[in-house]
Each structure stands twice: as structure tokens, then as C-alpha cells.
Amino acid sequence: MAKPQNPQLSSLNVKVVEKTQMSEINPGIWDGLSPDQAKKFYPEDWKRFVKDPYAFRAPRAESYHDLSVRLEPILIELERETEDLLIIGHASVIRCLLAYLIGLPASEVPAIEIARGDLLEVTPASYGVHSQAFHFWDGPGRKDEGKVASAKTDDDTNFYENYAEDTAGKRKIPAADAGAAADGGEPVGPI
């Protein structure tokens, strides 16, 4: 059953489509844990996770690989789309989509930094894509140079968002791997 369209969006001729495949990654038993807590309570699993964060699957969870497989039909739809799209989703989903679109290797997906409240624009170019982040919101849960912008929220214990924040600046992606636009656009590595 289709959801009723928001009247304001209808007047703008905007079509809203919800895709269940774009649900947040399932963290399993790590749900609600910070990276420090996961390391403390599940040290053996943590070692395996650090060794390969893309392929590791905590008990009763999804790996980033599982999520990428779940998103494959969405990626096929994106490739065929001719109109502009606005995709709103969880950071784990946006990481997978962005990595595919800019041509990053799968091993880099978990370390892509997605800043809360940023709009990411990805535009096809002659060779690859041009991508750019626009900051427009400083609301609850936004991290600002290592400081939380507001009181503790549920996002403070969102494992997959916090893991990427913990990797900030630790992995640099060469411009050749980042899908820089042929027009000299800035490469997108960790955003």
C-alpha cells in the first residue's frame, strides 16, 4: 500500500519512494555499543573486525558486504536513472552507495566518513564522478572537531557511525582511486 504523498511535495512535483533494501545495516549483538564497548565486551570479535571491517559479521548481524549485496538492485536502478535524485538514508547505506558511485574498493567502505547533516552531491562526469559535501545543519548528534554538538543521543551508541568517526583521517584515499572528475574536481576520499 502506497503512503499518502505530502501535499507540499506534491505541489513541487516530487515523487517519494521508500525502499526497504535501504534500511540501516543490522549491527546484531553490537547494537547500542560504542566501538570501545564492542572492543571491551567482544575482544576476539573485535580483532576479526579490525582485520577486515568490510567482511566481518558480528553474531546476528550484517557485514558491509551483506549490505552491499542487499543494495545491488538499488545500484542497478541508480545506473538507469536519468533524473536527479535525492537519497536520504543511514550512514552505512550512504557509504556503500557512495563507494560504488565514486569507484572505491570495497575495503574502503567502512572508513568513509559521512558527516551528520551534510548533503552529498554526486554528479556524473566524463571520467568518473564529481562529488562534493555541503554542510547545512548543526543539530543533535553532529560531531564537531571531536566535540558532540549536543547532549548524548542514541547516535552516540550507533556502532557503525562511530567506527567511521574513529577512523577519521587514518586512511587517505589516493585521487586515482577516488574517482576524481576529469575537470580537476576534488577527489572524494573520507568525506
Domain locations in the chain as residue ranges: 7-166
- 98/107 Cα distance (integer angstroms): 13
* Choices 3.40.228.10, 3.40.50.1240, 3.40.920.10, 2.60.40.10: CATH for 7-166: 3.40.50.1240
Between the alpha carbon of residue 111 and those of residues 14, 141, 163, 175, the distances in Å are 33, 19, 8, 16
pTM exceeding the 0.85 threshold for the entire prediction: no
- Condensed to tens digits (0 to 9), the pLDDT of residues 159-175 reads 665 565 555 444 444 43
E runs forming strands in the chain? 118-125, 128-135, 143-144, 147-148
pLDDT tens for residues 96-128? 999 998 889 999 999 888 887 788 888 888 887
Instruction: Identify the CA nearest to 90 among candidates 36, 44, 159.
Output: 159
